[in-house]
Amino acid sequence: MSFLERHPEKPLLANRRLRAVIGVVVLALLAVPFVTTDALTGLILTGLVFVMLGVSWNLLAGYAGQISLGHAAFFGMGAFVAAWLTTPSAAGFPASIQLPILVAVVVGGVAAALIALIIGPIIFRLSGHYFAIGTLALAAVIELVMLDQRSLTGGSTGYYVQGDLAINDFVGHGDVMFLLTLVATVLTIAVTYRIVRGAGGLGMKAIHDDEEAASSLGVNPLKYKMYAFVVSSFFAGLAGGLYGHYTLYINPESTLAVTWTIDSLVIVILGGMGTFAGPILGSALFLLLDTGLAAIVGSVATTIEGTLIILFIIFLPQGLYGLAEDYLITDVGRGGASAAPKSSDATPGTDPDVVSDED
Amino acid sequence: MVAGELVSQSIVNGILLGGIYAVAALGLSLVFGIMDIVNLAHGHMLMVGAYVAILVFAATGITPLVGMFIAMGLLFVLGIVLQKVLLKHVVGEGIEQPIIVLFGLALILQNIGQLVLGGDARTADLGIPGDGINLGFAFLSLPRTVTFVVAVVLIGATWAFLQYTKTGQAIRATAQNRTAARYMGIDTDRIYIITLGIGTALAGAAGALLSMLFPINPFVGWSYLLKAFAVVVLGGVGSILGTLVGGVILGVSENLGALYLGGGYRNVVSLLIFLGVLLLKPEGLFGTGGGGE
Amino acid sequence: MAGLAGCAFGGGGGGGDDTLTIAGTIPETGAFSSLGQDLRRGYELGQARMNEQLDRDVELILQDDESDAQTLRQNLQQMTSNNDVDMIWGSFSSLLVTAGSAFAENQNLPFLGIAFAYEAPHRNDNYEWTYAPFPKSRDVARSTLGTLELIPEGNRPNRVGIWEPNSGWGKEQADYWENRLGDAGYDIVLRETFEIGSQDFSTLISQSQSADVEVLLSNPTPGGGITAVNQMQSNNWSPKMLKFVRGADPSAWWSALSDAGAYALMCPGWVPGLTGNGNQRLRESYMSEYDTESQYMPVNVGGSYNLTQVALQAVQAAGSTEADAIQSALRSETFQTVIGEFGFEDNGLPAEGDLTAPTGQWWDGAQRLAYPNTGSQRALEFKYPIPSWSER
């Protein structure tokens, strides 16, 4: 079962060179709204949302081993709850509940986390395939109900979000939302990093590797699954709220669409499931694929995405992170699996005979 | 008040539709029971089967009942290739890899559907002249009745195959105990290949049947996957009779749900029934257990 | 990509006070793809006319929005970032037009959109920049009543059924129909909602049959409308009069249904048979520009051309491409277009009562004007009732 090697124990931030790189990247991102066009700012903001989605889904799926296909529901509910709070009149709520955007998107994240807290104990009665399909069905139910509740969501015509954080002619609403999203992304990464490096991460890893064994050693599987689920849903909801207040228009059909789940999954697989930096690398690649491919090969972009995730999961289960580690980090003397660059082809698990029959 | 005739009509429509749902679910159930894999691309394979029937119908005017066999043949081959090329790497590898491989395949099939036919919904029709039958308490529309009969025949044929052929018996033996089957000299790799072929061919058949009733677009895969899996859960993994009953329950509950709760909740009702059974009675209403983790 | 066409007449380059730069999206792929070409043609014919009439270059940038609100938004963002856009033209359907309008309102850019009957956003979302030269829900209901009154009184049906899609516009249109027809003495015997993406209409059909519905009104999507008629046929039921607003708009209606689609009514904004206000010229330029066998133009070419006439007249009156000047022209002028003569309320609705929503009917592969009566040879005499399936 251990085809996914995780490295929570690796002191990622202890590496000086890496720290410098992170600093430069964050600084460069801070400058984005001031030096690029609105369209490019929007594109990179989407990339940040991808990072939040990928990192949060990875915590649940990559670390705790719970393949949820319902991530979009939390993203979308975060977006809607935040929108209800900044624009209550459009949903028939009293104007008195109106909150500033910054508070509203946090409440959106909290609401998504609360939903996870309530349904978690029920949905975690399922495991494996049943859990995957159950979460897919749950997300579909939420989408259909929200679509039907026209007074709350605008139905298929959508919901207009009010918000204007523009500071002056030069720094517009979109630019401020970009900076907020950047802060939220850094926060998502930092909190998730602390969790996977701490006791929580160890517990998640234990139940992922062997739930029964972990349970007999006194690790409560439900506790760690819930931990991962609630935190993951919070950040997905936060991402949804931010994105909704950037676009200022949400719609049950697109905001709660299964596409967001697909994107999260593709990002994590490309980057390396169960690796910390994976989803971040994956988001960058996915953004390039999604926009770059669409421009070059247009109509077959999805086919290429599908093919890539199949090839990655079979032949490169550690994704880009695995590649990067083989080529780069081994240089610094912190070799992961093996120093041979192509070694990732031979990670345990690609050979069916190695794995014990579970019957 | 809802008139009695309306209720009986809804139930009859639900039963007739349930037959097709059962065919779709049977393929999923076989693969799940024997290979321990939920084919996440099952709904998309159904969509491909539907498109094959629609294209044959559009090009030649031949009824999709004939196109159905072409669709089944093509998808049988697709299933075999899929197992030989991709899934053999990941079967028995826990759940992450098969789920993701099949998820990727679903994306590819959806994209191919879009490329071949565009985003518009397409539909075929029965292609056989004739009127429906009026039973007094309900009207049996011709396409629904014909597709139901074909669906039941397909399910019966699958049952007979599993019951009376050597390969079928080997498949059942593998389902019961993989290791023991291996000791008895059954080539389980070959069984996997055949099972996936049959499973995907049944998805193709269900798609071809659906194409005579509903428009098909490249994005219907997810929704039919959920419906098929709901039937598997209702009927229990590995139970053929259970699958048929599960299909009928799903079809009837969708129609009655639309009647009593309003059409906005047609699909919500069936998903909620599905989630309810999944949580309360995961072995299914008629299930013998098996499959899954 | 599919966009970036239509620069042929403009000087290109964008920006500059002389050039009028218009960004627009059309659904060339996705659920509304059958409408994309008609919108493109109407917009491009209009652009050519604007180039003749205005003493400035008119540049039109069109991109494919894939019938998706999210993509549409990204397209607009990209087009306005890379060009000095003065005005935005919308796409098809309330879903896509409201998404485009949300963007334009934020950017303070004049926005024109057709195929958008939904009124509530105009009132609730404080529109300042969105203008819809298009018959709205209230006009559609009035036109439905007018069409019914074409039927001799003794023969006139009374039992009305409404299928309400679960969208905001679905509810609004159903409310208008219920009130307007109810006030006029019609009996609303059925009003049922359905899921907007629904493919199974069998329950609604049974309910309508059981309630003995004579006049069936709905505003489904094109795909939904086609499916519904297919299933009516296989269930051997049909109303005496059928009006599917938006659902029966595209030419896909006839290619999918052929004769089974006959008799259906729709309110697409413009229908062959309308006269005056440039209709003659539109017809001539369409027929000479595009190779077409039919003598009836697709309805959305007329609708989108009407939008370009509003744009032309507004820019003429404003005498500038400044957003504020165009806005005040849109608010104060009266416009003469192929769909009629009308002004706008400040929230962008066509002024109440100005527009008669023309009702078209499918007949022999073409949509032709059934109401109001213009006497044009491209109009037809409203065909009522729809015979039963066995007699068709």
What are the tens digits of pLDDT across the range C108-136?
Answer: 999 999 999 999 889 887 789 999 999 99
Structural domain contains residue B245: no
Picking from A229-243, A324-338, B224-238, which range would have the lowest pLDDT averaged per residue?
A: A324-338
Q: Do residue C210 and residue B6 have CB atoms under 8 angstroms apart?
A: yes
Give dist(CA A173, CA C76) in Å, integer: 16
Q: Does the pLDDT of residue C325 top 90, yes or no?
A: yes
pLDDT at B127 over 80: no
User: Residue C234 is nearest to which of B142, B263, B265, comparing CB atoms?
Assistant: B142
pLDDT mean across residues, chain A: 84
- Find residue C25's DSSP bridge partners: C63
pLDDT at A2: 37
Q: Which of B94, B114, B268 shows the shortest C-beta gap to A145? A: B268
Top pLDDT among C9 and B31 is at B31
Q: Is residue B67 part of a domain?
A: yes
Identify which of B123, B263, B267 has the shortest CB distance to residue C193. Answer: B263
Measured between alpha carbons, how far is residue B260 from residues B32, B256, C191, C207 in Å?
34, 6, 13, 11
The mean pLDDT value of chain C amounts to 90
* A291 touches C at CB < 8 Å: no
Domain of residue B164: give its range.
23-220
Is A251 in the C-facing interface, judged by CB distances under 8 Å? Answer: yes
Q: For residue A17, what pLDDT band results from cuts at 50, 70 and 90?
A: confident
- What is the rounded CA–CA span in Å between residue C392 and residue C390? 6
Contact B94 A125 (CB under 8 A): no
What is the average pLDDT across C193-220? 92
Q: What chains are in contact with C, requiring at least 3 Cβ pairs below 8 Å? A: A, B
In sequence order, which residues have a C-beta less than 8 Å from that of residue A207 and are 6 or more positions away?
A64, A65, A214, A215, A219, A221, A224, A225
What percentage of chain C carries pLDDT values higher than 70?
96
Q: How many residues does chain B have?
A: 293
Residues of chain A contacting residue C195, judged by C-beta atoms under 8 Å apart: 144, 147-148
Distance CA A297, CA C134 (A): 37
Does the pLDDT value for residue B194 go beyond 80?
A: yes
pLDDT of C166 reads 86
Q: Does A298 touch chain C (CB under 8 A)?
A: yes
Burial of A282 (0-12, 13-18, 19+ CB in 10 A): buried
> A153 at the C interface (CB within 8 A)?
no
3 state SS of C250 = coil
> What is the arithmetic mean of pLDDT over B192-212?
95
What percentage of chain B has pLDDT greater than the value 70? 93
Q: How far is residue A145's CA from residue A155's CA, in Å, rounded to a whole number? A: 10
Does residue B226 fall inside a structural domain? no
**How many CB pairs lie under 8 A apart between chains B and C?**
94
Tell me whether residues C199 and B144 touch, CB distance under 8 A.
no
Q: What are the boundaries of each domain within chain A?
A: 12-257
Query: For residue C12, what pLDDT is reported?
Result: 37
Task: Indicate yes or no: CB of B111 within 8 angstroms of CB of A303.
Answer: yes
Residue A128 or residue C309, greater confidence: C309
Q: Does a structural domain hold residue B61?
A: yes
Q: A4: pLDDT confidence band, cut at 50, 70 and 90?
A: very low
Q: What is the pLDDT of residue C97?
A: 92
Chain A residues lying within 8 Å of B94, measured CB to CB: 1, 3, 355
- Kindly state the average pLDDT of the residues B265-287: 79
The pLDDT tens digits for C212-240 are 999 999 999 888 999 999 999 988 999 99
Closest partner residue to A251 (CB to CB) among C69, C78, C195 is C69
| pLDDT beyond 50 at B184 | yes
Residue ranges of domains in chain C, CATH in brackets? 20-135+274-342 (3.40.50.2300), 138-270+358-391 (3.40.50.2300)
Chain B contact set for A313 (CB, 8 A): 90, 96-97, 100-101, 104
Structural domains in chain B (count): 1
Confidence of residue C8 (pLDDT cuts 50, 70, 90): very low
Q: Is residue B258 part of a domain?
A: no
Beta carbons of A315 and A345 less than 8 angstroms apart: yes
* A336 has a pLDDT exceeding 70: no
Which parts of chain A fold into alpha helices (H)?
16-35, 38-58, 71-86, 101-123, 128-148, 150-153, 173-197, 199-209, 211-216, 221-247, 252-255, 258-271, 278-287, 294-296, 301-315, 319-327
pLDDT for the residue B18:
95
C window 84-103, beta carbon within 8 A of A = 94-95, 98-99, 102-103
Q: Smallest Cβ distance to C202: which of B13, B118, B119?
A: B13
**Token pair 């789920």: residue:** B99
**Residue range B66-90: mean pLDDT, rounded:** 93
| C253 neighbors C362 (Cβ within 8 angstroms) | yes
Instruction: Indicate if the alpha-carbon torsion angle A230, A54, A305, A320 is positive or negative.
Output: negative
Q: Which residues in chain A are contacts of B293 at CB distance < 8 A?
A: 127-130
Q: pLDDT by residue (tens digit) across C36-89?
A: 999 999 999 999 999 999 989 999 999 999 888 888 988 998 899 889 999 999
Q: What is the pLDDT of residues A87-113, one digit of tens each?
A: 998 888 998 999 999 999 999 999 999
Which of A90, A249, A253 lies nearest to residue C124, judging by beta carbons?
A90
Q: Is residue B289 part of a domain?
A: no
Task: Give the mean pLDDT of B187-205.
Answer: 94
Least confident range from B70-74, B261-265, C135-139, C202-206: namely: B261-265
- The complex scores an ipTM of 0.84
Whether the pLDDT of residue C9 is over 80: the answer is no
Residue A251 has a pLDDT of 87
Q: Is pLDDT at B74 greater than 70 in this prediction?
A: yes
| A positions 202-221 inside 8 Å of B (CB) | none
